[in-house]
Amino acid sequence: MRLGLTLPQFGPFADPALVPTIAAEAEALGFESLWAGERVHAATSPIMPYPGGTMPEQFRRGLDPLLVLTLAANATTRPLLGTSTLSAPLHPPIHLARSLAGLDRLSRGRLIAGFGLSWSRDEYDAVAVPWRERGARLDETLDVLAALWAEDPVQHSGEFWTISPGQFQPKPAQQHVPIYLGGLSPAAFRRIGRRADGWLGMALPVEALRSALAGIDDQARAAGRGPIATALRINAAIQASPSADPGTGPVEQLVDYLHAVAELGISDAFVELQLTTSTPAELLDQAARIRDAFRP
């Protein structure tokens, strides 16, 4: 299993000058993938509550994920570069296709395009996209990306967007940019099974994770497709005392969890340290401890 790290982006780490340094240090430590997420709007009094409780204060200050990955692409040569997650329905897909194609070329084919729907209705209101259309818009976004990244002339005609025949250049460096999708609902699993190359998973107890992976594999087989890869996000909370929550506890417990999920056949896991550290030095120190302790 490859081990990755999220890039500096939120809270005290929302400084573009930090990204190249930490990305290069992460590569030197041996991290094999680097990831950026997205928060479009942090409402003071949200219409819908943050999943699991109160939204972390760090998310009230954040950098654009494609800016972060562009800086990381320039500073590194080997790690994969992924979005976990980019809220696809909040973006015009032709703009998304252009930005992602450019990022893939800049990184010489290292992009993983990871999409989700966002839990925040406030974000949809902020960009004037109807909440009830989010799933259909994600599906059509995938159609648009496939059309624009195929051979010219390109075109698309759908429920939400019409793109007349024309040229779309440059294409991504990869012949097929891997598309990963997030979600834990039955509808999400069906979409992943039908359309995705990978699942953007979250740190669940091992048996719950095993069950989720089996559910996705069932959907992929029903769609006549092969196994679906997984990139597992672990929002770490490093503390001295052990905990039953995956990712919460001492570094040694986190590494034990990494080894346990590797046994499930997961291809990638990446650790989010911005919610448990407050300085770049502390983040890199914790990252080094995790990387040194985890050897597949």
Q: What is the pLDDT of residue 54?
A: 85
pLDDT of residue 247: 92
The pLDDT score that the predictor gives to residue 52 is 78
pLDDT at residue 53, rounded to an integer: 81
What does the DSSP assignment read for the chain? -EEEEEPS-BGGG--TTHHHHHHHHHHHHT--EEEE---S---SS-SSPBTTBSPPGGGGSB--HHHHHHHHHHH-SSSEEEES-EEGGGS-HHHHHHHHHHHHHHTTS-EEEEEE--S-HHHHHHTT--GGGHHHHHHHHHHHHHHHTSSSSEEEE-SS-EEEEE---SPPSSSS--EEEE--SHHHHHHHHHH-SEEEEE---HHHHHHHHHHHHHHHHHTT--PPEEEEEEE-EE-SS--SSTTEE-HHHHHHHHHHHHTTT-SEEEEE-TTT--SHHHHHHHHHHHHHH---
Kindly report, residue by residue over 50-68, the tens digit of the pLDDT: 887 888 888 889 999 999 9
Domains of the chain: 2-293 (3.20.20.30)
What's the pLDDT score for residue 49?
Answer: 87
pTM over 0.75: yes
pLDDT averages per 10-residue partition of the chain, 296 residues: 98 97 98 97 90 86 97 98 96 98 98 96 96 97 98 98 98 98 96 98 96 97 95 96 93 96 97 96 97 89
Give the pLDDT score at 296: 67
